[in-house]
Chains A and B, each alone.
Chain A
């Protein structure tokens, strides 16, 4: 009988028996980053199409989410750093080969833009709140700022479209750039995370929308994105099957292993297939609770990121 015995004298905290370097804040950030990218992308796109009054949730109302989500996401990211006082070192250089460097710089531009975008619609969307707070009366300079951002909305939208796409793709590339983690080392992760981010963005717009026509349109958009996402997941799994031994082993975590229930149960079935069926029924013309597929898509997106971050760190080349 073939014998194989292996002993390693290494037992370093958070490294052995498996990596525990990235924790829940990273998964949460990847979700919030994708969600913000999705919402801002639709906001900029529909604004440029001149549909801001036709689809007010997409352009104006839902844009309250990205500034909050990005701030929370950034806090989560910094919270997971172990040498926090040196965070500023990120902005002393730009390293073209490092996805994290790309992400750090893109966030530095997108986050303030998201605040400005929301601010430009503040008086439009929340007139009652402004009546109460009287912020514009108290701080006169805000009128000038508002005038400036409203005048420059078009340029902000032009900037946001490529930037949010980079942000969405980067959340996936961040993982796929690590060839040492076979589960992550799959080039499809970039487009997959982008599609998932856009889909959660569309779902958030559906949840907040009060107009039937808007819900209907974003239901259709979301359905399309879910179908693309399912196709990309098939590609991802095919990629593992066709990959080297380490990737075939890594895939077994998702297919027939520890994460199968989470991945196929929560992400694929509850987070993609059921919402797709519900949205199709709605599109045909039957009445369905529209919030349900949207909520499922959001939960599925969150679980997906947790599964990928956790499972990926269990996979390695050597022992």
Chain B
């Protein structure tokens, strides 16, 4: 997933779309908006972005999971099988993005990139609903995909790369 921080206006539409699409319990969220103001007055810089699970290549949550409930499916998406999760919290402790939470029903839950929508050929809810079209979703292994082209041509960053998790959500800056 690629997110253009220059286009994001921080409207939180992605957050609401996700909560509605995925029946996220009230008070919880799988994605969220952060706002950073940085610089020396008057030249301040504002950065808005939508954050979520980074579906890391070297996912610590998958490594720490004692039952294999956290796993990586084809295409690199990290998912949790609720019936295999014992709610030990190891994955939550291991996530440098703190993108996971304990669902009130006990199991651990997080962003799935709307895997159920992808299977039908649809885009994740957050991407499809973004009014400024600041989010892009696609195959990073395909050099001709929109996301690969964006990353090829634009300056970008990932969050906490020093954690060594090889995150798969990229921010255009």
Contacts and interface: CB of A to CB of B under 8 A. Distances in A.
Contacts of A181: 93
A284 interface: no
B63 interface: yes
Given A89-B84, A89-B86, A3 B44 contact: yes
A180 B96 contact: yes
Contacts of A149: none
Nearest to B160: A317
Contacts of B100: 15
A281 to B, nearest CB: 42
B67 A316 contact: no
A13 B67 contact: no
A83 interface: yes
A86 interface: yes
Contact of A90 (B32, B67, B89): B67
Contact of B66 (A4, A82, A104): A104
Contact of A19 (B64, B69, B87, B93): B93
Interface of B is mostly: loop
Contact of A318 (B15, B98, B102): B98
Interface string A8-24: 11111111100101100
Interface in B4-49: 12, 15, 27-29, 32-41, 44
B101 interface: yes
A3 B68 CA distance: 44
Given A15-B92, A86-B87, A98-B66, 16 more contacts: A3-B38, A3-B40, A5-B35, A5-B37, A9-B12, A21-B89, A82-B107, A86-B84, A89-B67, A89-B84, A97-B63, A180-B95, A316-B96, A318-B97, A318-B159, A319-B34
Interface of A: 1-16, 19, 21-22, 80-84, 86-87, 89-90, 92-93, 95, 97-101, 103-104, 177-181, 244, 246, 313, 316-319
Minimum-distance CB pairs A-B, first 3: A82-B87, A83-B87, A83-B106
20 contacts: A1-B40, A3-B38, A5-B38, A6-B34, A6-B36, A8-B35, A9-B34, A15-B101, A19-B93, A21-B92, A84-B87, A98-B64, A100-B64, A100-B66, A100-B90, A178-B93, A179-B163, A180-B94, A316-B98, A317-B97
